[in-house]
Amino acid sequence: MTKHSLFNNTEFDHYAADYDDALAQGISISGEDKNYFARERLAWLAGCLRRLQEQPQSAMDFGCGTGSAAPFLLDLLGLKTLCGVEVSVKSVEVAKSTYGSERVRFMPLNQYEPSEQMDLVFCNGVFHHIPVDQRADAVKYVYRSLRPGGLFALWENNPWNPGTRYVMRRIAFDRDAITLKASESRRLLQSGGFEILRTDFLFIFPRMLRWFRGIEPLISRLPFGAQYQIFCRKP
């Protein structure tokens, strides 16, 4: 894979204007909206950081899309600065106009030069859109963005969950995506130099069964959830 191919995938330019609507239609079967999932992801990550007694000051949202995770990253993680990078230039424009501020900046992927400064990189639902032969280079990009000891929280859709597969078929930009099993993601990250700290599976119960959500932390190591987080460290 070349640097050019990683930085010049314009597929999501076609979805920038109606990305949220397409996503909402797809996940509506769960009974929840995108903000519920964004909040729960970041709340889980915040708990992982507390257990390590880590308080990141700076973070990157790798594949930030239209930037909708930014408020949750700032509020739930207590960040001082956030940089969102995204291959889709049109999505970056939407993110800047909606969420840009003194603490938050967005830029195309090819305009950010990794310099080993970030405390944390967050990435949700991006790698299944990256061609298989380009994923190792994406991991290298993240690795070079982190300071030594920096942390990477990779969230991906769990292909073992039938609900996940059904929802992805309902979303135009997800139908042809190539999902990654958690074991594949771990190998990819380890090959890129990361130390795996933990793997957790979340989002087992839809809203109609929300009374059971209290047990999810107890069974988060079992591969049932619609998504998984692999939490790892750059040595």
Write the pLDDT tens digit of every residue in 165-215: 877 777 766 778 899 999 999 999 999 999 999 999 999 999 999 999 999
Averaged over successive runs of 10 residues, the pLDDT of the chain (235 residues) comes to: 48 57 67 91 98 98 96 98 96 96 96 97 97 97 99 98 81 82 99 99 94 96 97 99
Where do the domains of the chain lie? 3-233
Superfamily of domain 3-233: Vaccinia Virus protein VP39 (3.40.50.150)
Write the pLDDT tens digit of every residue in 184-197: 999 999 999 999 99
3-state DSSP assignment of residue 199: strand
The answer to whether the beta carbons of residues 70 and 64 sit under 8 Å apart is yes
How much is the pTM?
0.91
Question: Which residues fall within 8 angstroms of residue 189, CB to CB, at 6 or more apart?
Answer: 139, 152, 154, 196, 230, 232
- What pLDDT shows up at residue 89? 93
